[in-house]
Amino acid sequence: MTFWPRRSFERSALFTPAAFVALVCATACDRSATKSGDALASSASGALLSLPLAPPPPSILSPSPQLPSFAAIVKRVDPGVVTISTVLEGRAPGGEIGPLPRGKRRSGKGLGTGFVVDSDGLVLTNSHVIESNQITVKLSDDREFIARIVGRDPRTDVAVLKIDAKDLTPIPFGDSDAVEVGDWVLAIGNPFGLSHTVNAGIVSAKGRTREDVPLDPAGYYDFLQTDASINPGNSGGPLLDLKGQVVGMNTAIRGGGAQGIGFAIPINMVKQLLPKLVRDGKLVRSALGVRIRDVRDLTPEQRGQLKIGVEARGVLVDSVEPSGPAAKAGLRPGDIVLQFQDEPIERSAHLQWLASTAGVGQIVTLRIAREGVPKELKVTLGELPEPKKGEP
């Protein structure tokens, strides 16, 4: 939005298009009268005045719309935002917040944020916030409770806590798939211990993966990027749309301090995990048994070797685990995965997410292209083993 300095705007308003035409007209009249007499000058003057005028840009004529006030949203949702105090086992190096690289551990007190998702005491936060033997949750009315861990999934950095409190104010979930780049969002949390701090910004980008955000290489990330200020202490807090609904969980920043680049887990990912974490306490992931990469990243030479057109999209199978689910179904290196069940596939991170959350033992349909020929394969998904330390 452009704000015009008052004095500059007033000066610009004095020199209108009509004034410009009058000036041109007067000049033309003077010159024409000198050369051809008053009659010709009068004719030229009338011709200029009869020309249609393009209207000035509406952004100049119309008053600038006022920025929205977020006060009503904040009043409604703030009781559902909580402060989480812990004794951390580790903190990411370089001032970054977010999931730790495996094997990195240091002791120290920690501070994070969470938000209420159930009136009987369920609280969502980041898994990296609760690396602790004791977790304290403080409500907006200053009541404090010792929390227990109901479930957690370090690979998506999601955790569910339970406190012995009733009649809490849950914050409703929104739809992160419906969020568009440029939409307004609010981040509420406890940056540097400044409790219930509210920051506003926009969604800067969608679909940021672990290649964009250098966190745990074993993680599953599909972040929303925002320029709403996020700092240490904001982790686990809600990212809200203008309906006051959670569209993301604030999770990570790029090294050190507020730089206008923060990342939030899309709430639709969290919604998919939440029932399983509450029921089982963890997520058992399924797997295809392949290594993959994006077709869009292939060079022209590689596309030619694989008989892939310039406009082709999908995920290339680099290798197949011997005797794994994909190998048993007949998937081969060089195949291009185009669909998983009914979901079109363009990015490897998307296929990994769908395959890992479909369920061990589930039979799924893959639509592939092999040397340009479409095929369908039925795959019975296996179980994804937990990675060893330092492995992706």
Residues designated catalytic: 128, 157, 235
CA distances to 181, 183, 266 from 228, rounded to whole Å, are: 13, 11, 15
Q: What is the DSSP letter of 177?
A: G
Distance in angstroms (rounded) separating the CA atoms of residues 325 and 321: 8
Q: What is the DSSP letter of 63?
A: P
Q: Indicate the angle between helix axes 267-280 and 348-357, nearest 10 degrees.
A: 30
Instruction: Give the SS3 label for residue 160.
Output: strand
Residues 335, 368 contacting (CB under 8 angstroms): yes
34: which residues sit within 8 A by CB, 6+ positions away? none
* Adjacent-strand bridge partners of 148: 162
DSSP letter string over 254-295? SSSS--S-EEEEEHHHHHHHHHHHHHHSS-PPEE--EEEEEG
Q: Would you call 106 exposed, middle or buried from its count of C-beta atoms within 10 A (0-12, 13-18, 19+)?
A: exposed
Q: Which two tokens stand for residue 295?
A: 């077709």
